[in-house]
Amino acid sequence: MLILGIETSCDETAAAVVRDGLEIRSNVIASQVDIHSRYGGIVPEVASRQHLLTIAPIITEAMSRASAVWRDLDAIAVTCGPGLAGSLLVGVNTAKAIALCRDLPIIGVNHLEGHIYANWLEGAPPDFPALCLIVSGGHSDLLLMRGHGDYELLGRTRDDAAGEAFDKVARILELGYPGGPAIEKAALRCSSTPHLLPRAWLKGSDDFSFSGLKTAVLRLVTEPGGMNNRGSSLIDDKSEKAAIAASFQKAVVDVLVTKTVSAATRMEARHILLCGGVAANSALRDELVRRSPIPTMIPRPVLCTDNAAMIASCGYFHLTAGERSGWNLDVTPNLRLAHSA
């Protein structure tokens, strides 16, 4: 089954062609980072306008790189939420237009579930039950996946998402946007983690909290003590910036890995699946692999951040389970994947 996937939930316009949910035939991503970076974050109105300009050429490119023509396709999978309403609308309406013209079935895909399915594009599929940690710009969710489409939400962030914390701390340190890669790069310049920053363990819960950590970084650089021993502000000092970035990254990784491994052990999971944009972070990837007592799957970085191959893969498993969306498929900006048991 050949599926065209379409993803426009945030600031990446993406299209991909995937065979049988497992084999990437093409995966094209147009990032809007350069456009939004001058504003220090995503401007929703600008994002949806840019999707409108880019979506058709990106789909054409995905079809051409897959050496596919319209009649080769069996279905279209498109992200319908969560995400920015105006951005999601561009993808969903484009998908509907193609499906209507080519008489193809269409399936709306939850973006978060799509992130999980990036792991199906990396060789042998995982065993169930699998413990999934989704860490993106808007979510930090810990879920138990008992089978395809069968999720139990174990924990989620009570305030900032992990990616959001990276982005906000990068802004405090004036490292630019997007913050995750910028913090990771800065942290590489410092081999130690000299600042002891707080970890919110929230004992007895699988939930996360990162806002206290972000505030601690803010205090470090703005309060009177936020000076280095030469009397200049910490963020004016490149090596101090690197030290704070490394200490912050270490605190986030420590909490994410400790809580994930503990939930996986308690739930007797057979695999840990890491996914979402923050899963591109090498420190997180390495530490999870090092500390996990069970096999861990982490997609290659380009499949961690937003892409349409993961949407096509996820759509395949829904379609083969007999599902499909109707012409009334709509966007759901706050769509959730699962609820607590």
Summarize as ranges the residues that interact with ligand KG4 (CB under 6 A).
10, 136-138, 163, 166-167, 178-181, 184, 276-278, 280-281, 305-306
136, 209, 247, 249: residue in contact with Zn ion (rule CB under 5 A):
136
**Does residue 333 have a cis peptide bond before it, meaning omega lies within 30 degrees of 0?**
no
The answer to whether residue 8 forms part of the interface with Zn ion (CB under 5 A) is: no
Q: Give me the least distance between CB of 184 and ligand KG4, in Å please.
A: 4
The site partner of 179 among Zn ion, ligand KG4, none (C-beta below 5 to 8 Å per kind) is ligand KG4
**In Å, what is the CA distance from 57 to each residue of 2, 28, 139, 171, 203?**
20, 10, 30, 33, 49
**Would you say 41 or 125 has its CB closer to ligand KG4?**
41
Question: What distance in Å separates the CA atoms of residue 183 and residue 9, rounded to the nearest whole number?
Answer: 24
Radius of gyration of the chain (CA): 20
Residue 340's DSSP bridge partners are 153
Write out the two tokens for 310: 């993961």
Write out the DSSP string of 235-290.
GGSHHHHHHHHHHHHHHHHHHHHHHHHHHHHHTT-SEEEEESGGGG-HHHHHHHHH
Stretch that binds Zn ion, among 86-94, 96-104, 130-138, 235-243 (CB under 5 A): 130-138
Q: Is residue 7 within 8 Å of residue 303, measured between CB atoms?
A: no
The site partner of 316 among Zn ion, ligand KG4, none (C-beta below 5 to 8 Å per kind) is none
**Would you say 16 or 280 has its CB closer to ligand KG4?**
280
Q: Give me the least distance between CB of 324 and ligand KG4, in Å please.
A: 24
Q: Give residues 252-311 in contact with Zn ion (rule: CB under 5 A).
A: 306
Q: Give me the least distance between CB of 105 and ligand KG4, in Å please.
A: 25
The site partner of 184 among ligand KG4, Zn ion, none (C-beta below 5 to 8 Å per kind) is ligand KG4
